[in-house]
Each structure stands twice: as C-alpha cells, then as structure tokens.
Chain A
Amino acid sequence: MHHSHLIAELLKLLASILLLISFAMLSQRRTQRLITLFALQGVILFVSTCIVAYSAGLRELYYSAALTLLLKVIALPWIFNRLIHRLGIRWDSEPLVNIPITMLVGLALVIFAFGLAQPISMMATTITRNTLGIALAVILLAFLMMISRRMAVTQVIGFLAMENGLFFAATSATYGMPMVIELGIALDLLVGVFILGIFFFQIREQFESLDLSNLEALRED
C-alpha cells in the first residue's frame, strides 16, 4: 500500500516535469535547445513507462519503454541535430505571437485540460489516473507551439511533442496502447521525420529559407 503510494507520487512528479518541459519548449527559441528538451521529454516518458510497467507488472510496457528510449531519446534527436547542422539553423525566426502571451495562453490551456480530465480520471482505475490532465495539457501545449512558430523544423518538433503527450495519456489512462499500435506509431514517426527532412531540403531549395510564411505564395487566387 505504502509502496504504491510512493509510485503514484513519483509518477506525479514525473508528469509535472513533463509539463514543465512543455512550457520550456514553448518559450525556447534556440533550435538546438528545443531538440534537447524534446529528448528530455523522451527520457521522462521512458522513466515513467518503466515505473508503470514495474508497478502493474506488464511486460509489454517494458518493450514500449525501450522503444521510446531508442526512438525519442536517441534516434530522432540525432536525426534532428544532423538536420539542423546541415541546414544551418540556429534560431527560430520571430514567433508569430510573442512568448509571454503564448505562455499565458498555455496557462489557460492547462487549466482547461485539468478541468476536462477530471471526470475522465474519476472513471479510470489505474494508479496513474491523476496524470491524465497533465497529458492532455502537454498535447495542447505542443499544438500551441506548432501554431505560434514559423520554422518548419520547430513545427515538426511540436508535432512529435504532441505524440509524446498522447503516449503519456495512453500510459496513464489505460496502461498503454496495444503493442501492435505502438509499433505502428513508432514506424510512422520515423518515416514521417524522414519525409519531412526531405521536405525541409526541398523547401529551402525553393525559397532559400525554411520560414513557412513563404508558403503563402502558393495560394491560388
């Protein structure tokens, strides 16, 4: 009893760190740091999944934790680092909405997500149920980051951070998704990042910049 209480508290701590990282990502303008933060999110996910796996005694969750480590902590940050190195990106250009306002909107989103998660976590039986609100908040914050940034790389990181939130939501509400789905998602992410990497080069070749506001010229009048 005491044991499970400790685990629940530990998970809450990890969830709060995840949320903190999300806010950090929202305010971070250096691309290099953003990738580091993304990798850090992956580490948190790895640790929390391992803890859930241990406490619930589910072997699949260990696999999924290993997958997270491999993909989100090692492979993707490595790919991104290479990409920004090749593309020569250091800073995101001026965000569409300035950072203090984005943070305030983010705050409102967190409150909204907690309110939303309350009735759902009442029904859940897992020990991780209290973290559902945080998972939802992470998803919404990542979405907000995609909206408020201009660079293609940042948007892709935002998209991946959203997936992190979904993954966390899945582990906290139902002890993770079935293994097949998880493998499918992992593959999708990897392929998606590859394709987007190709796109980055194409976009830069066309517009000599990765600023997505250039794409507005594609609109048909």
Chain B
Amino acid sequence: MSLYSLLFRCILTLSLHDLHLLLVLVLGWLILGLAGLLRPHRVGLVAAVLFPVGAVIALGVALLGGIALMAAHIPQVAVLPLGLPDLPFHVRLDALSGFFLLLLGVAGAGISIFAAGYFRSGEGTAPGLHCLQYHTFLASMALVVLADDAYFFMVAWETMALSSYFLVTSQHRIPEIRRAGFLYLLIAHVGALCILLSFGVLQGGSWQFTFDSMRSARLTPFWASTAFLLALVGFGAKAGLVPLHVWLPEAHPAAPSPVSAMMSGLMLKTAVYGVLRITFDLLHIRYWWWGVLVLIVGLFSGLFGAIFAAVQTDMKRLLAYSSIENIGLIFAGIGLAILFEAFNLRLFAALALTAALIHSLNHSLFKSLLFLATGSVLHATNHRSLGKLGGLIRRMPWVATLALIGTLAIAGLPPLNGFISEWLLLQSFLFTPQIPHAFLNMVVPLGAAALVLIAALAAYVMVKFYGIIFLGQPREASLAEAHDPGWLERLGLAWLALGCVLIGVLPKIALRAAGSVTGALLGQAVNVSTPFWWIAPIAPAQASYSGLVLVGGIVVVVGITYVLVRVLAHGRVRRTVPWDCGYPWQTSRMQDTAEGFGQPILHMFGPFFRIERDTPSPSDCSPHYRIHIEDRLWRAIYQPIEIAVQHLSNAIGTLQGGRLATYLLYSFLTLIGLLVFVLWA
C-alpha cells in the first residue's frame, strides 16, 4: 500500500511539471543532434553514446505522455519565449497529444536503439549528420504534437518534412533516390499548403492563430467543411491516403531502414494526429458526410494498399504499400467515429475512435519492427529484392523470430496487438444499423465486408513477406554468409516485439489510454470497468475478448499435443530428407517466387494495375521472368499535371533569353510601368 501511494505521489509530482519536462526532453534531442556534429565522420560517438541516449529520452517522452493520459492536471499550457515578435510559440499537453507522445516515445525508443547499431560510416550521409537529422526529426514530431498555435505547428511540421527529406536522400548519389526525395518534398509541400489554408479558414475572422481562438470560432457549415476538406487533403498527403500516396512507396524504400521505420511508424501518425486535432478539437461541429467521405477514402486506401503490397517484389516497397493499407484502416475508423458522432451516438463513436487510436499505436510498433527487420536483412545480405532472399530463418534466427511476431501482429492474428484494433474496428462497424439514416445504415455495413477483405489480403501479404524472406531455400549462394545483427539491433527489435505482445495479451492498457483521449474529445469512453485480463468495450453482454485466456488456451493445446506426441506416442525424433516429388534435381529456383505468390491477386484485381510483362524467349538457357507493375493513378492524375507544369515552365523559360539587353529591357519596362502607375495614382 505504501509503495503504491509513493508511486502515486511520484506520478502526481511529475504530472504537475509534465509539459516542462517534455520540453526539456525535446531540447535534449536537439542537443544530441548537434553533438553529432562534433565528430561527424566517426561512427563511434554516434553509435555508442548519442543514439542510446536518444532512446532513453524517447522512453522519458513515452513515460510523460503516458502520465499525461492518466493525470488530472491536463491540459497544461505554456507560452515559449521563442518565435516572432507578438507571435510567441504556444504549447499544450492534453490527452490527445499525450497519446501520440506515448506512441512516439515507445516506438522511437526501439528504433533509436536499433539505429545505434545500424548506421555505419561510408553509407551515404556521414553518421554525425545522420544523428542531427534523425534527432531533429524526432524532436519536430514531438513539437508537432505539442504545438498549440498554427504558427508553431507549421514551423514544427515543416521542420519534420525537411529533416525527413534529408534522411530519405541520405544516399543522394543514386538518381532514383533523389527523384524519390523530390517527389516526397513536393507532395509534402502541397500538403503543408493545404494545412496552412485550413488554419487560415479555421481562425474564422478573428485573425488569432492560437488553437484556443480556433476552438471558440463558430464557422458556418460551408467554411467548416472547407477547413475540414483542406485539412483532410493536407494531412492525407502526409499520411499517404490514395490518391496522394504516390510518394510513399518511393520514399520509404529509399530511406535507410531506421528512417523508413520512423516515417512509416511515427511520421504518418502525426498526420492522423492532425486530422483528429482539427476535426474533433478545433472544429466545433462535424457533419455526417465528412465521416462517409473519410470512410470511403480510408477503405479505398486500405484495399489499394493491400492489393499493391501483394504484388511487390521489393521487401521495403511491400511494407510501404502495407503502410498505405494500415493508414486506410485508421482513417476508416476515424470516418466511422465522425459518422457516429454526427448522429450523437457517442459510445459507438468512442469505440471507432478507440479502434483508430489503438491501430495507430499498433502500426507504429509492428511496422517499425518489420522495417527494422528488413534493415537487418539488407545489411546481412545486401539484397532488397525478394527474388534474391529466402531461407534466412536458419541464418538469422533472432531476426526471423522477432519478425515473425511482427508479421503475425500485422496480419491481425490473436493473441497479438493487430488483432485487437481490427476486432475493435469490426465491432464498431457492426453498430452502424443504429444510425438513424435510411441509406447509411444499409450501405455502411458493406464497409465491414471491405474491412474483412483488407484484413485477409493483409494476412496474405504477410505470408508472402515472411515466407519468401525467411522460409524455404536460399535463392542466392551468398546468403549462406548472412548472420544475425549485433545486440543493439536485436534489443531494438525485441523491444518493439514486446510491445506487440503486451498490447495483444493485455489490451486493457491500450483501451484505457485511448479511453482518456476519447473522453477528452468526445466526452465518452468505451467500457473499461472489466478486470485487467479481459475487455468488453461496449458491454460484457455484447462482445468480449481476453488475450490472456487465449494465450492460456494456446499453451494448453500446444502442451497437450506435445505430451501426446512425445510421451504417449513414440517420442523419438527422426530426421530424414523430405519427399522430392519424384524429381531429385531440385534447385532453389523451383520455389514459389514473390511474383508467383502475387499472381492470383494480380489476376483478380487486374484493372487496378498497369502491367508490363517481360517474357523470356523459349531458347533462353537461364530464363528470368520480369514484370513491371505500375499504378494507374500515376498516369491518370499525376502525369497530366506533370506535362502541364512542363509546358508552363517552358513558356516562362523563354523569358530567360540570355541576352543582357533583354534583361535590361525587362527592368526598364518595369520601371516605366511603375512610374506610369505612380503618375496615374
């Protein structure tokens, strides 16, 4: 009892200074980044000191974020003595930012520990510079979540975009990577512009850009919808919602693996945060059609991402498309929450929002885990293409085991965390018949079918991912030299895997955390009055789940089987050559390939793709089948824009004739024009 009260008191004191401590920690990240510049070309300092310290800071951020979710001294606000004159930076810590700080800290700690062992000198940017960009990226994400005025938010948002741009282009000598970086920066800026305009609408004529004044602004339905749509486009561009997703499958594979993990696991979540902040906090009203729109976009992105992930042959591209799918699911949850909330069904809205929040948290864990695992595979084998991997489970048992946890989690299998959020999301779909609108309550349940399809496809994708990389026979001779990474990288992977297991087995923790957020945003939280080992989000009579009981069941079944086989049956282990189907000359090229695995999907969803096949000639002695799959949306939307911009640029380019006299004439005519203007005015 005394220990409990001591802990409670400790937390209480911490929570009083939560915000200030957080700002100190963020400052710590920035200082760590600058410290990397002390000896930029030496990997020792960066790996042995700076990244591990950064991971400890991340744990601190997670702790303080978690405390913010529990504490009563929320929201806390502060004004920083920074910024422009008359435009200081405002910061605020509330339940929503606390949740995303928790997510940032937990996943960021794992990635930082992994990165400590991962970055080597001689790979693109110098390690010290990497350290600066990396920690600036982390700090700016924390500040995005903490910002309480549009000005500071945009500063942090753009810092985030720029630092991640430099991280993506760390191997800038490769032209494709430069192109990927440019595409990323371009769409990031289009998105930022939309967000800026959205804030411009949200201030509602008061010309005060603090979030507080936006909360009190009362917009007309037209302007509220405009602000919402601008925010959706702006944040959707960062989140990778279709059709603004084109940068994502290019930029994520281009970046070094810890950076891919950060972008996919953490940065995409800041976009989720932005949408939630504007929709549920800054706007005073929500209309049901917003929810339907977000739901449709989310489900379409989910389906699109899952289908494209299924046909990828590059492991990091596959994961990038899988990120689009997961973001789609998160936005489907948000859309459903808006829909329920607009019809004042607050409990169901809380359920849908809880599902979206927990899925964000889960995705940050398992997607980071998988991206980091691909980094280990890449370092061990130098191959990114699935067609050159295989059989790594024997060479890299640590990575294979930990990646298996991530794979099962992302596939949505119990008792891991992916199952929890998908189950919650499906639960919330099942309540749509309660909506008092004739068409919606008939049409929206179709979304549940789409959700199940997406979940099944995601599982299919993950079987492909894991099976091709880790199972079967090695497809290249060089894979025999592959080996597990060092202990720092294993620790990072294990930390994230632990998170996946913990949330899966004890989902009550995540439910409580999300409950604080929905309580603050919607004034309603899902039911958390059950004991710690099971959950029943609406009511015990409706549906309940217990990860612990399931784990117990699994242990019992496995135990009984083991006993039956080893004790009651023969008990001997017999090792023998597997049956070769009567064909003794088997090579590793006879295994199912990544292309082969995706073939059924390619056939079923043919209209989604633009396919170019490269079929080898019959007389070729070592035939290789190649297939090039493209996104139809690129040609439909982006290419016309690209051509138009090119034409316009050429037209403007004629101004630059290279003749000095012409340039002087421009100045002269401008001068005369201005003088005429003066004369007339």
A residues with a Cβ closer than 8 A to B are 96, 112, 115-116, 119, 140, 143-144, 146-150, 155, 212-213, 215-219
Contacts and interface: CB of A to CB of B under 8 A. Distances in A.
- Closest 7 pairs between A and B when the two form their complex, measured CB to CB: A219-B658, A216-B658, A147-B664, A212-B660, A143-B668, A147-B665, A147-B661
A169 B668 CA distance: 18
A215 B658 contact: yes
A112 B672 CA distance: 9
B649 to A, nearest CB: 13
B637 interface: no
B656 A96 contact: no
A146 B657 contact: no
Contacts of B661: 96, 147-150, 212
A201 B668 CA distance: 27
Nearest to B679: A116
A124 B665 CA distance: 31
Interface string B640-681: 000000000000000011111100110110011001001100
Contact of B659 (A116, A143, A146, A216): A216
A146 B650 CA distance: 28
- Determine the main DSSP class of A at the interface with B: helix
Contacts of B664: 143, 146-147
Contact of A116 (B656, B657, B675): B675
Contact of A218 (B658, B668, B671, B675): B658
8 contacts: A116-B678, A143-B671, A144-B668, A147-B661, A155-B660, A213-B659, A219-B657, A219-B658
A153 B57 CA distance: 64
Given A116-B679, A150-B661, 18 more contacts: A116-B675, A116-B678, A119-B679, A140-B671, A140-B672, A143-B667, A146-B664, A147-B661, A147-B664, A149-B661, A155-B660, A212-B660, A212-B661, A213-B659, A215-B658, A216-B657, A218-B658, A219-B656
B149 to A, nearest CB: 42
Contact of B668 (A115, A147, A217): A147
Contacts of A146: 664
A200 to B, nearest CB: 14
Interface of B: 656-661, 664-665, 667-668, 671-672, 675, 678-679
A216 to B, nearest CB: 4
Contacts of A147: 661, 664-665, 668
B681 to A, nearest CB: 11
A212 B663 CA distance: 12
Nearest to A120: B678
Contacts of A140: 671-672
Counting chain A CB atoms within 10 Å of each CB, the highest count among B671, B678, B679 belongs to B679
Nearest to A221: B653
Contacts of B675: 112, 116
A45 to B, nearest CB: 22
Contacts of A219: 656-658
Q: Is the interface of B mostly helix, strand, loop or mixed?
A: helix
A119 B679 CA distance: 9
Contacts of A216: 657-659
A217 B668 CA distance: 23
B657, B660, B668, B679 — most chain A CB neighbours (10 Å): B660
B360 to A, nearest CB: 46
Nearest to A152: B660
A9 to B, nearest CB: 28
B562 to A, nearest CB: 73
A132 to B, nearest CB: 13
B664 to A, nearest CB: 5
Candidate in B656, B659, B661 with the most chain A CB atoms within 10 angstroms: B661
Contact of A115 (B656, B660, B667, B679): B679
B298 to A, nearest CB: 45
A96 B664 CA distance: 13
Contacts of A115: 679
Contacts of B668: 143-144, 147
A149 B665 CA distance: 12
Nearest to B669: A147
A10 B672 CA distance: 30
Contacts of A150: 661
Contacts of A212: 660-661
A202 to B, nearest CB: 15
B667 to A, nearest CB: 8
A1 B172 CA distance: 77
Nearest to A215: B660
Nearest to B658: A219
A148 B659 CA distance: 12
Contacts of A217: 658
Q: Which of A140, A147, A148, A216 has most chain B Cβ within 10 Å? A: A147
Nearest to B663: A147
A143 B656 CA distance: 20
B113 to A, nearest CB: 47
Nearest to A113: B675
B665 to A, nearest CB: 5
A181 to B, nearest CB: 21
A144 B664 CA distance: 9
A215 B678 CA distance: 35
A147 B667 CA distance: 10
Contacts of B656: 219
Nearest to B671: A143
A126 B533 CA distance: 93
B39 to A, nearest CB: 39
Nearest to B662: A147
A147 B671 CA distance: 13
A15 B672 CA distance: 22
B462 to A, nearest CB: 49
Contacts of B678: 116
Nearest to A136: B675
A96 B660 CA distance: 11
Nearest to B666: A147
A213 B671 CA distance: 24
B395 to A, nearest CB: 51
Nearest to A158: B664
A116 B675 CA distance: 7
A148 B665 CA distance: 9
A140 B670 CA distance: 12
Nearest to A147: B664
A6 to B, nearest CB: 32
A149 B660 CA distance: 10
A116 B657 CA distance: 31
B186 to A, nearest CB: 22
Contacts of A112: 672, 675
A96 B662 CA distance: 11
B427 to A, nearest CB: 61
A29 to B, nearest CB: 16
A155 B672 CA distance: 19
A107 to B, nearest CB: 15
A99 B678 CA distance: 30
A116 B679 CA distance: 6
A181 B657 CA distance: 36
A16 to B, nearest CB: 22
Nearest to B678: A116
A96 B659 CA distance: 11
Contacts of B657: 216, 219
A44 to B, nearest CB: 24
A116 B671 CA distance: 12
Contacts of B672: 112, 140
Contacts of A148: 661
B381 to A, nearest CB: 42
Contacts of B660: 155, 212, 215
Contacts of A143: 664, 667-668, 671
A143 B659 CA distance: 16
B444 to A, nearest CB: 56
Nearest to A118: B679
Nearest to A95: B661
A115 B676 CA distance: 10
A142 to B, nearest CB: 11
A217 B657 CA distance: 10
